[in-house]
Amino acid sequence: MLSYQHIYHAANFADVQKHALLAQVLKSLAVKPAPLCAFDTHAGRGLYALEDTEAQKNREFDNGITALWPLRAEAPPALRPYLDVVSALNPDGTLSFYPGSAMLCRQMLRAADRLIATERHPGEFGHLQQAMAKGAASAKPRIQTLLGDGLKTLVDTLPVTERRALAVIDPSYEMKTDYADVPKAILRALKKMPQLCVFLWYPMLGAGGHRLMLTELVKSGVRDALVSEIRLDAPPQEHFRMTGSGILIINPPWPEAVMNDVTQAVTSRLPAKAFGDVFWLDNCRINPDTGLIVI
Ligand SMILES: C[S@@+](CC[C@H](N)C(=O)[O-])C[C@H]1O[C@@H](n2cnc3c(N)ncnc32)[C@H](O)[C@@H]1O
């Protein structure tokens, strides 16, 4: 039984990194007129009310959106597409609502585009449906919300009639098997649609599951894979074991400079001391002694 609820972590530093980069990807993919099909395989609830008790419990957003929100009027280009969406959801200037990946897609995709958002937790799925239905009359892309396994939906649905597709893969990694299932699904998806832009989030934890996952992808010969990692300097607290956050983009729609700029713009403004790193997975070698990639 899944118990993870993203609202406890909404808008923290990892969300800011993830969503600022996702907004840049969506902005770039919208430049070409050809329609796009976006999958949000682990959609969560789509929209997060930061005043809710769950979000207030640890206030993780204080080391996240709270630090960037004051920049919205004169945001640096790296953060502008992201902060524009957050601002649109908070028109009175008070930061109350935070967009998850599905809402970012909903706000930035166009009429000819399509969004397939899957969520496995029934409670979270109910929230997602409500969020996606809000303002439905003005909703631009066609939206399908599905209750179930997002990785299976992705692999089963590809290839799509649109010749361009994006897969946002943002698991909670509650199940240890996620670390093996995710690279498997990515490889199967790329086999069905090699031009697919894959956008994967992973937590950096002491156990190093993310390293195994990246190693699997390197061993399988995945190319054109760019990584952004943000590490926190302070030791993790009891309730917050994550020491860093990573985003892997396969077939990125822009050059490395965009990844650098966003990573830098986020790390330099967080209240907690943090370090950003950007590298190509293509350049990582495997250590023959450990069998793991060297970063
Ligand atoms: C990190 S949260 C997603 C946050 C969201 N993508 C965002 O940016 O706001 C992960 C979500 O995936 C859901 N989940 C876990 N396994 C899943 C699966 N196999 N398919 C679809 N959803 C899953 C969890 O219930 C949880 O809501």
Instruction: From first to last of the 295 residues of the chain, give the pLDDT tens digit.
Output: 668 899 999 999 999 999 999 999 999 999 999 999 999 999 999 999 999 999 999 999 999 999 999 999 999 999 999 999 999 999 999 999 999 999 999 999 999 999 999 999 999 999 999 999 976 545 579 999 999 999 999 999 999 999 999 999 999 999 889 999 999 999 999 999 999 999 999 999 888 899 999 999 999 999 999 999 999 987 566 555 788 999 999 999 999 999 999 999 999 999 999 999 999 999 999 999 999 998 8
- What's the total number of domains in the chain? 1
* Model pLDDT, residue 241: 76
**How far apart are the CA of 140 and the centre of ligand 1, in A?**
23
* Model pLDDT, residue 234: 79
Which amino acid, residue 261? D
Q: Ligand 1 in contact with 203 (CB < 6 A)?
A: no
Report if residue 289 sits inside a domain. Answer: yes
First to last CA, the chain: 34
244: DSSP letter: E
Distance between CA atoms of residues 167 and 248, nearest Å: 11
Q: Please give the number of the atom of ligand 1 that sits closest to the Cα of 9.
A: 1
- Domain of 131 in residue numbering reads as 17-48+101-294
Residue pair 66/28 in contact (Cβ under 8 Å)? The answer is: no
Report if residue 211 sits inside a domain. Answer: yes
Report if residue 54 sits inside a domain. Answer: no
CATH number of the domain that residue 132 is part of: 3.40.50.150
Q: Ligand 1 in contact with 145 (CB < 6 A)?
A: no
Residue pair 260/243 in contact (Cβ under 8 Å)? The answer is: no
Given 15, 40, 113, 170, which residue is catalytic? 170
Ligand 1 atom 19 nearest Cα: 149
Q: Ligand 1 in contact with 84 (CB < 6 A)?
A: no
Phi, psi of 6 (to 5 degrees): -65, -20
Is the backbone of residue 82 left (phi > 0), alpha (psi -120 to 50) or beta?
Answer: alpha
Report if residue 135 sits inside a domain. Answer: yes
* Model pLDDT, residue 236: 62
Report if residue 70 sits inside a domain. Answer: no
* Model pLDDT, residue 206: 82
Report if residue 125 sits inside a domain. Answer: yes
Report if residue 61 sits inside a domain. Answer: no
Report if residue 33 sits inside a domain. Answer: yes
* Model pLDDT, residue 235: 58
Q: Ligand 1 in contact with 99 (CB < 6 A)?
A: no
* Model pLDDT, residue 68: 97
263: DSSP letter: H
Residue pair 118/40 in contact (Cβ under 8 Å)? The answer is: yes
Burial of 156 (0-12, 13-18, 19+ CB in 10 A): exposed
The pick from 1, 3, 6, 145 for probing ligand 1's pocket by mutation, whose C-beta has the most ligand atoms within 8 angstroms, reads 6
Phi, psi of 108 (to 5 degrees): -105, -15
* Model pLDDT, residue 1: 60
* Model pLDDT, residue 20: 98
